[in-house]
Structure 1
Amino acid sequence: MLEFLEKNIGTVSNNQGSFSIDLTQANDTDVLVFSTIGYKSKSVRVSNLRTDSKTLENVRLEREIYELNEVVVKPGAFRTVNLGRSFGRTRLSAGFANNKLGNELAMEFNAGKTAFFPERFEAVISTNTYGKIKLRVNVYEAANGVPAKNILSENIFVETEIKKGILSVDLTPYDLRVTGTFFISLEIIEDMGEGRLHFVADYKGKPILTRAVSQGNWRSQDDVSLNFSVIGKQEVGKSK
């Protein structure tokens, strides 16, 4: 993924790594950020791209080393927990700010003080006029009330043709463990064109957060919440 730092402008490479991005409106002092899950991001000034044609050839991302806190596992009880809530009957729906590549929407969840192991993420689609769609699921730590560091070490892609119903994503292969507040988002990874992709929504609950690209600023949609859920196992008692 490539984005201008602190600007809502960016793009995503295809499966072969090819990409294009328009630099005609960029200033020499603007910074282009190269990023992908599992690797450290790298920043390059636009002035370097314009003066040295080999700058892109020299962009190499280093693998990110994830240092996890020590976990002491003891025999004990676990319970199944659903951190979302049912909206019941509602005619309200909401979705991405627009259906262009890089758009992302996130919801906040709170696992409390004991360890929570996410096993499944669910989003209730109210309308999908596209047919097959491809999205990426992201899981973030929270900082200052917004998503911060992505805790995934590999991409979670999901494809679906559901027109109306529950989009369910298996999280068990990723060995996730969270405590406290965290965010889960859906991200558009290809331009979808004309059409509608909406999710069941309500006026009550945590607000939607949206952004145009992964280096862009998060914006809160205070008037609406989405029917997103995270189901998993939680320790009964204290964790260390």
Structure 2
Amino acid sequence: MILELKPFSYHFFFYFLCALNFSVFAQNQVRGVVFDSDTKETLPFVNIGIVNKGVGTVSNFDGKFYLDIDEADFSKNDILQFSSVGYKTIEVKISEVNFNNTLFQKIVMQPEAMQLNEAIVSAKFLKSKKGDVVGFSYPSKNKFGYWKGDGSLGAELVTRISVDKKRHYLKNLHFYVNENYSDSVLVRINVYKGGTIYPEDKLLKKNLTKMIGKSAGMVTVDLKPYNLIVDEDFSIGLELLKVYGKRVGLVLAADYRPSTSYRRYVSQGQWKTFRGDAMTFYVNTSTLSDGDISQISDYSRNKTLLKLQ
């Protein structure tokens, strides 16, 4: 799978897709099922891979995963990592991995402590607030971001969005699909804090997924149920979770204005930075005052107390 942000030729892209034929020669396959330690239920869309080594995947709807690993390509100290929003990360050295390709290994993840003081913002409250748009809403004619090939699960396209020091409540994400050669594609929306070199610390602590069909055009994702409030730069993007059909060929519009974007080719892979490039990702927001935050905090605290009683 190749994930790029660059000027694009549709004819070359279609020819490349038709001619592409990947063969994987792996000496070992790690198979497993990921479970929640408390509920004993299986966990979908867990990020699994060798950290920064370009080998990774995500668990499917049933919590199962298949990962081909050639031990000769890695040192004994390389890390096989399991991570998921809301759960403690698991790290295992390659030297400790059980390479048994006939049995499904049981991976148990522990939930992280929940934050009970999460802000709660009502739709009625937002109607009186000033609206704004942050991000990049003007698609370029010759810049695109796309996944192509057979699709490496967990690959991401992310763009950094600058905001002023006011508090912005994130309401809706918009992005534009130019072409989709797949039957459909399932993606996860990830929102990261912007104060790090690469996207690391997720603001969105729950799985938010979106199915993208064949139709071109604007796609809107509702962020309001997740109560995201930012007062500094943040990064937002899409992560590939599942491809329906034989190949992935999803082409997204990029903006002609400069910013910083990031990509990684596979789950747990290494981030690469693109300076001067931005995907056409933009977000509707409402600006909140200090008084608004106080009201929201009081309301949230009261709701929490009611839940605990």
**171-180 or 125-134: bigger deviation:** 125-134
Match among 74, 79, 92 for residue 44 of structure 1: 92
Match for 1:24: what amino acid? Answer: D
Same amino acid, percent of matched pairs: 27
CA distance in 2, matches of 1:33, 1:135: 21
Query: 1:2 — aligned with what?
Result: 48
Pick closer, same or farther for the CA change 1:134–1:51 going to 2, 3 Å: closer
Whether 1:78 aligns to 2:124 is: no
| Residues 215-234 of structure 1 aligned to structure 2 (within 5 Å) | 215-234=268-287
Query: 2:177 — aligned with what?
Result: 125
Pick closer, same or farther for the CA change 1:30–1:146 going to 2, 3 Å: closer
Uncovered stretches (5+) of structure 2, i.e. residues with no partner = 1-46, 295-309
| Residues 96-111 of structure 1 aligned to structure 2 (within 5 Å) | 96=146, 98=148, 99-111=151-163
| Residues 38-187 of structure 1 aligned to structure 2 (within 5 Å) | 38-50=86-98, 56-57=105-106, 59-67=107-115, 78-87=129-138, 90-96=140-146, 98=148, 99-187=151-239
Secondary structure of residue in 2 paired with 1:173: helix
CA distance in 1, matches of 2:129, 2:173: 19
CA distance in 2, matches of 1:204, 1:114: 23
CA distance in 1, matches of 2:181, 2:134: 29
Question: How large is the RMSD of aligned CA atoms in angstroms?
Answer: 3.0
Pick closer, same or farther for the CA change 1:143–1:3 going to 2, 3 Å: farther
State the Cα deviation string for residues 57-107 of structure 1 (Å, max 9, x = none): 3x4222122548897x9x99621111024326x422412464421110101
Pick closer, same or farther for the CA change 1:83–1:36 going to 2, 3 Å: same
CA distance in 2, matches of 1:127, 1:96: 9
> Would the aligned equivalents of 1:113 and 1:179 in 2 still touch at CA under 8 Å?
yes
Secondary structure of residue in 2 paired with 1:21: strand
> Would the aligned equivalents of 2:58 and 2:267 in 1 still touch at CA under 8 Å?
no
Match among 46, 66, 73 for residue 20 of structure 1: 66
Over alpha carbons, which structure has the higher Rg? 2
Uncovered stretches (5+) of structure 1, i.e. residues with no partner = none
CA distance in 1, matches of 2:178, 2:146: 13
Secondary structure of residue in 2 paired with 1:148: coil
1:55 deviation in Å? Answer: 11
CA distance in 1, matches of 2:254, 2:99: 49
How many residues are matched? 237
CA distance in 2, matches of 1:220, 1:37: 23
Match for 1:199: what amino acid? Answer: L
